Amino acid sequence: MGAGGRMSNPPKDEKKAEHEALQRVPYQKPPFTVGDIKKAIPPHCLNRSVIKSFSYVVYDLTISFIFYYLATNYIPLLPHPLSYVAWPVYWIFQGCVLTGVWVIAHECGHHAFSDYQWLDDTVGLILHSALLVPYFSWKYSHRRHHSNTGSIEHDEVFVPKLKSNVRSTARYLNNPPGRILTLLVTLTLGWPLYLMFNVSGRYYDRFACHFDPNSPIYSNRERAQIFISDAGILAVFYGLFKLAMAKGLTWVLCMYGGPLLVVNGFLVLITFLQHTHPSLPHYDTTEWDWLRGALATIDRDYGILNKVFHNITDTHVAHHLFSTMPHYHAMEATKVIKPILGEYYQFDGTSIFKAMYRETKECIYVDKDENVKDGVYWYRNKI
């Protein structure tokens, strides 16, 4: 994967490669600054192009329409045994493409789509609402995630539990069937549960919900825009209701519901694997700083889906360092920053299926090491 990272030249021996990927990244303050990293990045990588950004929107939506056209015109013609196979295939392909659309809307929330904030917010609101994502609500909570990555107290998503906070019932899920069940629930219900009830999010002293303008997630100046996000979601629900009345609920579930489940599953999986890994440290307020937190992330390899997902999967470290950089420059930037980051850059090329199970098994809670200074936490699995 280029120069600089621990996995930059993957060893031929698979076990050795996995061993190296699992080695802990340094937790000490790095010998470089954000400014040092930025100087290594070609200036054009930080430039946003309206035309280029829209070209990806048009491309993704065109592919999505082609899948929609094929599904509506040809799957109903198949004999029943084949149609039962064809629909899940459509859901997977369409869901992967729409995950790419989701990523573009995510870039709008980072002001990485264009130089115009109003345009970013307009495009992001339309695209995210179409996928039942409350655009402004998530934009603000996700901004806080980027501001507090790796913080035990203040990070916003997939915040690891301390050992003292692990429920006694967790021991009953710490086995192969329990881990598979945990993964299934996380990938299917994780996203709506996070939005509605802040499941896996940071602790707040009162009820936190992405649809509530008075939620403690938001500041007073942000609350009005939460109403706009809610209006966008209600508009899409109304459109889906009208479609169900016209074409039937089954049609809506097959054409829209199935792909949306795939999008939500990938969204949760991508985020989970970017921030959950045995090699990554977490910090409390005595040790945390923004740069070390941003480096407590990991790039993964999803094969051909890296391109479909606009490389959010294998350029996530660069994204956390420079979130306003558009995705179409992220690969170039990643290559040039690896030599500077050195051991602080982490990439794991483990199969995604293997990685999701391994991380569910190994990363149950975080705790301190006796031989490591206070304030630094590592994943554990001994309950």
| Model pTM score | 0.93
Domain that holds residue 158: 43-380
Torsions phi, psi for 172 (to 5 deg): -80, -15
pLDDT at 315: 98
Alpha carbon distance 126, 113 (integer Å): 14
Q: Structurally, how many domains does the chain consist of?
A: 1
Residue 342 forms part of a structural domain: yes
Residue 244 forms part of a structural domain: yes
Residue 12 forms part of a structural domain: no
Region of poorest pLDDT, from 17-21, 25-29, 140-144, 288-292 = 17-21
pLDDT at 383: 75
Three state DSSP letters for 152-183: CCCCCECCCCEHHHCCHHHHHHCCHHHHHHHH
pLDDT at 62: 98
pLDDT at 22: 82
Share of the chain above pLDDT 90, in %: 89
Alpha carbon distance 324, 104 (integer Å): 12
Given a cut of 70, whether residue 283 has pLDDT beyond it is yes
Residue 220 forms part of a structural domain: yes
Which residue shows structure tokens 């209701």? 241
Alpha carbon distance 334, 1 (integer Å): 10
Tokens of 141: 């909570």
Q: Longest C-alpha distance within the chain, in Å?
A: 65
Which residue shows structure tokens 């309950």? 383
Alpha-carbon distances of 111 from 116, 153, 291, 356, rounded to whole Å: 8, 26, 20, 30
Inter-residue contact 259 to 285 (CB < 8 Å): no
Tokens of 328: 């179409």
Tell me the pLDDT band of 357, cut-offs 50, 70 and 90.
very high
Tokens of 204: 């707040």
Alpha carbon distance 142, 135 (integer Å): 10
Residue 34 forms part of a structural domain: no
Mean pLDDT on 5-26 = 64
pLDDT at 7: 46
pLDDT at 15: 64
Residue 337 forms part of a structural domain: yes
Dump pLDDT digits (tens) for 68-116: 999 999 999 999 889 999 999 999 999 999 999 999 999 999 999 999 9
Residue 73 forms part of a structural domain: yes
